[in-house]
Amino acid sequence: MGYPDQRFDVNLSILFTELPLLERPAAAAAAGFTAVELWWPWTETPTPPQAELDALKKALDDAGTELVGLNFYAGQLPGPDRGALSVPGTESDRFRANIEVAAAFAAATGCKALNALYGNRIDGVDPAVQDELALENLVLAARAADRIGAVLLIETLNAPESPRYPLVSAPAGIEVVDRINAATGLGNAKFLMDLYHLSMNGEDLSQVITAYAGRTGHVQIADNPGRGAPGTGSLPLEQLLDELAEAGYDGRVGLEYKPGDRSSAESVGWLPAAARAAR
């Protein structure tokens, strides 16, 4: 099979960041991409002015790029934060304030996947209390996503880079997916399978694909070591994506890697043009 048989999108929060946010959709389109995804772009606020939301939608529309994935507010990304929804107090409140804003923006842009980062463990707070708060907030997020016909994605990160983040294995992520679906009865919570993070955790990626491809709502890739473009490390990414397709996954694959010392446009040279433009 191989790369031309996959449908790829590019994450504009890690690639094309040499440009201002509103210029990135056009740059991605110039590089041949028809679909993009984003972390929550306004790291300082869960509720940006409507004019800023409208300006981003216009930039996406003008470029002819489809927004296929959007994170809920997750604090400072990139940075020390790894989500807000399980952090008692101000951060949890900010996540809740963001739910309807993010869902409305997703609805306006046609985005059908909303990603909720779980949040770091906090000193002095019982993990069980954080998990209870997380489930409350994830239920709210799942219901908001369902109202716009979207899925709610749950992502695992990796322990070396995110030591305080509790979801650092595929089974841990799937367990949260199951808890959300049991609580809502909606069935719209799905696993976000990030092959880079899972490889950093030392998991058997082929085994993860076999076990969880049917529960997966989105896939993200970067090579390991280094979190660079495919071919800069040792992960057999083409083989793994073939395994995903053979296991029945037919969704998009998001490019979520660092371009290194090249421009973002140069860093996607490994990917055939047909795979960048697949609808």
Say if residue 225 is preceded by a cis peptide, omega within 30 of 0.
yes
Give the contacts of 164 (CB within 8 A, at least 6 positions apart). Answer: 82, 120, 121
Task: Let me know the angle formed at the C-alpha of 38 by 37 and 41, rounded to the nearest 5 degrees.
Answer: 160
Residues in the chain: 279
Whole-Å CA distances, 231 to 144, 172, 222, 234: 38, 29, 9, 7
Catalytic residue among 37, 66, 155, 243: 155
18 is catalytic: no
| Residue 256 annotated as catalytic | yes
Q: Looking at 66, 91, 203, 256, which residue is catalytic?
A: 256
| CB 248, CB 213: distance < 8 Å | yes
Is the distance from CB of 42 to CB of 55 less than 8 angstroms? no
Per DSSP, the three-state class of 66 is strand
Cα 11–13–15 angle (5° rounding)?
65
Rounded Cα–Cα distance for residues 265 and 251 (Å): 23
The residues that are catalytic are 155, 256
